[in-house]
Amino acid sequence: MKKRFFDQKMNQWFVNHFDLFIVLSEKVRQDVLSYNPKAICKVIGHPKYEQFGVLKDRQSQRNKLGIDKSEKVLLFFGLVRDYKGLDLLIDSFDFLDDSYVLLIAGEVYGDKRKYIEQIEKLKGNKVIFHDTFIPDEDVSNYFSAADCCVLPYKNGTQSGIQAIANSFQVPVLVSKNGGLHEGVVDGENGFVLESLDPEGIASKIDHVFTGGKLQIVRDNLQRQQSSNLDEWSVFADELLNFISVKNPNR
């Protein structure tokens, strides 16, 4: 996100007024410690979301979106902000063949025209752009139609979109910026972008769609989902244990 002149002082004030910190990534823990090296922090991963329903029939959802069953669908989901790298993902389509479809679903914060202009310059690529807030009941429609969810963030700490994708067993392709790649083992439970230039993104996308790699990750995510592990209960237990151990008198 774009930095403001008062961010550093506000962050310093904020960090120095709390005793304990629960954070969702190691990147955020390091950020907190940069303001207060004595801060007591606990990293607990973001659990999968459960309120968006279940996967629907893939082809029926693709039919509604005008997508053929043979096409390779890359999903960019959620509020569109500059730091999320949608511009880089669109430009990467100059290096991909026309078997790929870019499905964008989310309200734009900022200048929508720059994305429209980028899309208009593409040759032969299909882009579906739903520039609107996606209500909870429609979220599963998009993830059911997708092969892969792409998060080419220029910076960031963690993403709720990643947690949504995991809940639908949709493989993610995430950047190494911030904490998004923490916990992602490339080729096992997701994929990691080594570079964020458009050609590098396209090369990684082509790599992901070869040799059955997507199916391997889907199968692993399905096994994880079937383990019956209640991630929210684990999150709550870890949080409460951290508080009781570090602050026993409260």
Q: Structure tokens of 225?
A: 């989902």
Q: Is residue 1 part of a domain?
A: no
pLDDT bracket for residue 227 (50, 70, 90): low
- With tokens 């579906």, the residue in question is 128
Residues 71 and 156 in one domain: yes
Most confident among 9-18, 162-171, 179-188 (mean pLDDT): 162-171
| Enclosing domain of residue 19 | 7-47+228-246
Residues 94 and 217 in one domain: yes
- With tokens 């989902």, the residue in question is 225
| Predicted TM-score (pTM) of this structure | 0.80
Say how far apart CA 62 and CA 69 lie, in whole Å. 7
The model's pLDDT over 77-124, given as tens digits with 9 standing for 90+, comes to 999 999 999 999 999 999 999 999 999 999 998 889 999 999 999 987
Residues 18 and 114 in one domain: no
The model's pLDDT over 32-46, given as tens digits with 9 standing for 90+, comes to 888 888 888 888 877
Q: Write out the DSSP string of 157-180.
A: S--HHHHHHHHTT--EEE-SSTTT
Residues 93 and 209 in one domain: yes
